[in-house]
Amino acid sequence: MTESNHRKAHQLVENALHALAKRPRFEARPVQNEMAQFVLRCAYNQSHGLVEAPTGVGKSLGALIPALAWAITEGKRVIIATYTNVLAEQYWQKDLPLAMELLGHAALDLKTELVMGKPRYACMEQAVNGEISQMPSTVQKIVQQWMGQAKMGIESEFSAYARRKHLPAGIARETWSRLHVPPICKQRLCSFYNNCFYFRTRRSASRAQVVVTNHSVILADMELRWVTQGASSLLDEYDLLVLDEAHDFLDATRSALEFTLDSKEIANVVRMAARLVNQIAESVAGPSTPPSFADQLHGAANDFSRIAQSLVLEMEASLMDLRRSTLITALPPEILEQPSARDRAVPDLMPIVQHTAERLQSEIAAFYKEVRKTLEQYKGQLPEKGFDEAKELFNQQGWWFKKFSGGLQQLVLPETGATWIECGRKEMERGAKTVPLEFSELLTEHLWDVCPVVAMSATLTIDDSFEFFQTQTGLTSAETCLLPPVFNYQQNAALYLPPPGTLPEPPPSARAPQAEIYYQRLAEELTRILKATRGRALVLFASRAEMEAVRERMPELPNIPILMQGSGGHSDLSDQFKQETHAVLFGLRSFWTGFDAPGETLSCVILARIPFEVPVEPAQVARGGLIESRGGDPFTAWTLPNAKQQIKQGSGRLLRRADDRGIICLLDARLHTKRYGPEIIQNMPSGILKFNDIKEAVKHTRL
């Protein structure tokens, strides 16, 4: 780094933001400049940074412009990662091109790429030789036509093409499940490798200075480096990581590190084993190859398949008497010494899972040993080139089986984690699951210590502090930047809190004695609000049971259609809500965050209750036990902070543009009766005025 480069990057950022300010219909915002300078400073200081950028700041460009300026002037490599594929594609198609345009000539030679996980790309071999051949001829024709014109070969491209061809959504999803790149494949030994959508993208990404991706790819890259001890990587080396929607990164980490052992997962392992031996046999096929070679390989795979599936079926049969998901072990052992966890755990079931996991580890090792022995045994009788390919296939796919075996080990001895029996929705579904309870040390060692990271979100703080996020992620040494709200909440918004006594406190469950009265009163209060706002509302619930119970008790409202999550696809409901100005949408967790409906159609956000996590799931029970074992209170240390953050996310659906107006309604009676009520209200947007009369709130916001 040189001082002249720093000055040059600073000037590039200033010029780009100045060019942005001159664009039509753009309102210059000093906070965006403040954010951009903070990101640039983190990049040059090689320090971690945390940014809370409220809606309207323009955080995508506030991070992209300085990150790109730094990459240009220093010749460095930047990864931009957001939560979902949809958001990653938005970055790729909209935000990144605009940032490069604003940077002008300096960005002309900047190489960029979009990278997603394997299942998001179509596999050419699957299209030609795979299960697509079992689909109807009309579907096969659509696939072939699309493959011939696809640019990136990704799922969203195929979905759009399938819709244009009027392929039913269910058939399109089934087609993609057979078309996408499998978890392990031949890689460079595949005849389609040079034109493969996925590996073509990977090669392009390795040469790119700026790569856009999602959280799951970042975590998959971390895990691959970890399993292979740095020998393999999805993203190669990079110098700066920008994490958008960082509040969701812990959920993404939890999903990535969760391991499941059940019939479905074993069927997948068996398929991978069969795929491996088939590919090895095909690589050496020829007139001089002894038939016994393939027979021996397939025999090993068949033996493994028979024993593995038998072991899991035996485990599931032993667990059929369970009627709910049950914790069976947790580490450190102090967790199960806490009454809240001890009373919900059945350690006597652990030997069943341990026996299955250890036997499976042995069978995987035996299978891999048999394949290696067969290769060495027939080495002199196989074509030299074919043998080299077979050996490479064997070596390159070993990490996948090693990873699965590691998951089995985690199941038996979870490091600061929990293992439980999961009872699925279907009567016969049983499986063993495990997940770490903490991620800070793991993320620090395998991700944060790799390079500087800038994590940003509109909801990263709780009580105006980054402490909860820092503690959970391990980013305790990061610099912080808490930006003020951009929108005028004092003038354009109102917070409605029903007067004390309007509603009873929410019942603990739908079966509680007071539930019937609560649902009826809540429906009556919602009816009053929706009449006053003439619909135009997003109503957010914490559970499906409550949402459905309240909907049943709602009267018909003239000219106010009520849509409900579950009655249609997420995107279809979203579109319908945005198109029908006076519609009301009843939604669950997926509508609390990431849902964007600017304008009059969303003039009221109603939160039916404080979304407290009810510790009924085994992992939640174990987490509570872990906190208690350290002298903490699970409610204040975990449940309350998460509820505050989720309320911030839900409330953030209201004002999406500077000219938006509307009301946030918090209907939980506990805001008046519990000590934490003022704390939750404190996390509402700064300056927002409180009302206990919905008509006065409507009058204030000029709805």
Does the pLDDT at position 658 exceed 90? no
- Separation CA 43–CA 9 (nearest Å): 11
Identical fold between 3-111+210-253+440-482 and 489-701: yes
For position 214, what pLDDT does the model report? 96
Tokens of 526: 């919602």
Tokens of 485: 């709200």
- Separation CA 115–CA 385 (nearest Å): 32
Query: How do residues 661-673 score in pLDDT, each as one tens digit?
Result: 999 999 999 999 9
- Separation CA 626–CA 547 (nearest Å): 32
What's the gap between Cα 698 and its chain centre?
36
Query: How do residues 619-648 score in pLDDT, each as one tens digit?
Result: 999 999 999 999 999 999 999 999 999 999
CATH of 489-701, one of 3.40.50.300, 2.40.50.140, 3.40.50.11890, 3.40.1550.20: 3.40.50.300
Instruction: Return the sign of the alpha-carbon dihedral for residues 597, 602, 604, 606.
Output: negative
For position 427, what pLDDT does the model report? 67
Nearby residues of 408 by Cβ (< 8 Å), 6 or more positions away:
259, 261, 357, 358, 360, 361
For position 496, what pLDDT does the model report? 98
290 closest CA partner among 182, 179, 379, 385: 379
183 closest CA partner among 126, 235, 138: 126
Q: Which pTM was predicted?
A: 0.92
CB 77 within 8 A of CB 209: yes
H-type alpha helices, 258-349:
263-283, 291-318, 339-342
Query: How do residues 274-328 score in pLDDT, each as one tens digit?
Result: 999 999 998 988 888 899 999 999 999 999 999 999 999 999 999 998 989 999 9
Instruction: Return the sign of the alpha-carbon dihedral for residues 637, 643, 649, 654.
Output: negative
DSSP 216-251: HHHHHHHHHHHHTTTS--SS---SEEEESSGGGHHH
- Separation CA 566–CA 4 (nearest Å): 57
For position 487, what pLDDT does the model report? 93
Query: How do residues 203-252 score in pLDDT, each as one tens digit?
Result: 999 999 999 999 999 999 999 898 888 888 999 999 999 999 999 999 99
- What are the backbone dihedrals phi and psi of residue 594, each rounded to the nearest 5 degrees, phi first? 85, -10
Domain residue extents for the chain: 3-111+210-253+440-482, 118-200, 263-428, 489-701
Query: How do residues 402-424 score in pLDDT, each as one tens digit?
Result: 899 999 999 999 888 999 999 97
CA dihedral 410, 412, 417, 418 (to 10 degrees): 130
- Average the pLDDT over 33-43 and give the result: 97
CB 424 within 8 A of CB 377: no
Domain 3-111+210-253+440-482 has CATH 3.40.50.300: yes
Taking CA atoms, 428 is separated from 140, 269, 696, in Å, by: 35, 21, 54
- The overall average pLDDT reported for the chain is 93
Does the pLDDT at position 653 exceed 60? yes
- Separation CA 266–CA 430 (nearest Å): 13
